[in-house]
């Protein structure tokens, strides 16, 4: 197959931990052609199909010591519908340009392209708000632009987490304890005088055991998760915020959450999702570019990339 990965610049990949790289490596191992472009390379002109300026690459070396991990075989501008599959792997943030890219990919679908994850499903499942569909699986949660509603929620639950809806990697997350210290300043920072919606959740002390990333591929959970454990007094477990990643088997509750959410979202065209679970509660559903493949593979030997490419091949065959 000819597989196009729409992603960040290849030169910026940190392949020792990059999940997209592990997908490419497994695809290449099976003999599939690996192509890559960035969202900025997508183009449409009236009367024609969506095309992209892309390059076919060959994986070489390990990239250690700053060496190259790929070489370009060929560069060409190609209709997306002429490929076997398009894998959307652009990292967040889900900003206007990401939004526009999903519309171009949606037009490519109308041309006949097979896109994973499905562009309309990416738009319909914002990563913070997608949990609202599953109230029985989440902790007490408030989504609002009303500063007083935030104060009332804090008064009820006493220890809360506040976060912006467009953050990633733990960016912009604050904890406010029972004393309410700095609550007003945090509301002003995140809420911007009622101009910006904020999510507030009851603080879950189980974060000390890790913010677990549970991967679900084709509606089926990977049997190991990555518990991202906060370090040095930090409230955030995100790896980008310095958390320590520890792979571990799914608990019964992890599996229950995954088996509730996964099939429903897979039926909507989300081949790969990443569930964030603290204790017994679902806190976030990641659909744009879920990660942690490499950490789970390295620590457990369970080949997440192989499962993903299996599911991708099956998805192409079924399309």
Q: Locate the DSSP E strands across the chain.
A: 2-6, 33-37, 42-43, 51-59, 70-79, 85-88, 115-116, 141-144, 160-164, 174-176, 198-202, 211-217, 220-221, 224-229, 244-249, 272-278, 281-286
286 counts as catalytic: yes
Tokens linked to 178: 């029972």
Is residue 284 annotated as part of the catalytic site, yes or no?
yes
Give the list of residues 6+ apart from residue 315 with CB closer than 8 angstroms, or none. 85, 114, 116, 218, 271
Tell me whether residue 14 is one of the annotated catalytic residues: no
**Catalytic (active site) residue 163:** yes
Catalytic residue chosen out of the listed positions 276, 294, 295, 307: 276
Task: Name the catalytic one among 284, 294, 295, 307.
Answer: 284
How far apart are alpha carbons 292 and 66 in whole angstroms? 22
Q: Which of 90, 114, 128, 294 is catalytic?
A: 128
Catalytic residue (choose from 117, 191, 238, 286): 286
Residue with tokens 């079924």: 318
> Could you give the 3-state DSSP secondary structure of residue 274?
strand
Instruction: Dig out the tokens for 203 from the structure.
Output: 């603080």
Which structure tokens are listed for 106?
A: 């949606």
Has 259 been annotated as catalytic?
Answer: no
Catalytic residue among 228, 238, 295, 307: 228
Instruction: Select which of 114, 202, 212, 213 is catalytic.
Output: 213
Active site residue 128: yes
DSSP string covering 267-318: TTT-SEEEEEEETTEEEEEE-SS---HHHHHHHH---HHHHHHHHHHHHHHH
Burial of 8 (0-12, 13-18, 19+ CB in 10 A): middle
Active-site pick, 163, 202, 212, 294: 163
Please identify which of the residues 89, 90, 118, 236 carries the catalytic annotation.
236
Which sequence positions are flagged as catalytic?
128, 163, 213, 228, 236, 276, 284, 286
């Amino acid at each position: 197959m000819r597989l196009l990965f729409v992603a960040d610049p290849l030169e910026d990949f940190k392949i020792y931990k990059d999940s997209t790289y592990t997908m490419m490596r497994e695809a290449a191992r099976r003999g599939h052609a690996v192509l890559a472009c960035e969202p900025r390379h997508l183009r449409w002109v009236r009367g024609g199909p969506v095309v992209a300026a892309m390059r076919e690459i060959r994986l070489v070396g390990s990239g250690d010591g700053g060496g190259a991990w790929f070489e370009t075989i060929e560069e060409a501008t190609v209709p997306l519908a002429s490929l076997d599959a398009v894998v959307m792997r652009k990292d967040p943030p889900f900003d206007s340009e990401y939004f526009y890219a999903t519309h171009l990919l949606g037009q490519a679908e109308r041309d006949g392209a097979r896109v994973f994850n499905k562009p309309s499903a990416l738009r319909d499942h914002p990563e913070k708000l997608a949990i609202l569909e599953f109230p029985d699986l989440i902790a007490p949660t408030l989504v609002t632009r009303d500063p007083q509603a935030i104060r009332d929620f804090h008064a009820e639950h006493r220890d809360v987490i506040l976060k912006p809806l467009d953050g990633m990697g733990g960016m912009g997350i604050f904890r406010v304890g029972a004393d309410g210290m700095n609550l007003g300043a945090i509301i002003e920072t995140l809420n911007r005088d009622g101009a910006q919606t904020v999510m507030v959740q009851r603080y879950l002390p189980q974060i000390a055991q890790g913010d677990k990333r549970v991967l679900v591929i084709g509606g089926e959970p990977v049997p190991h998760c990555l518990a991202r454990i906060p370090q040095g007094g930090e409230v955030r477990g995100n790896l980008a915020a310095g958390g320590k990643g520890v792979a571990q088997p799914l608990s019964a509750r992890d599996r229950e959450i995954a088996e509730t959410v996964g099939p429903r979202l897979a039926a909507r065209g989300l081949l790969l999702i990443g569930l964030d679970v603290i204790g017994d509660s679902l806190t976030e559903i990641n659909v744009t570019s879920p990660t942690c493949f490499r950490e789970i593979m390295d620590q457990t030997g369970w080949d997440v990339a192989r499962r993903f490419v299996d599911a991708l091949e099956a998805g192409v065959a079924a399309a």
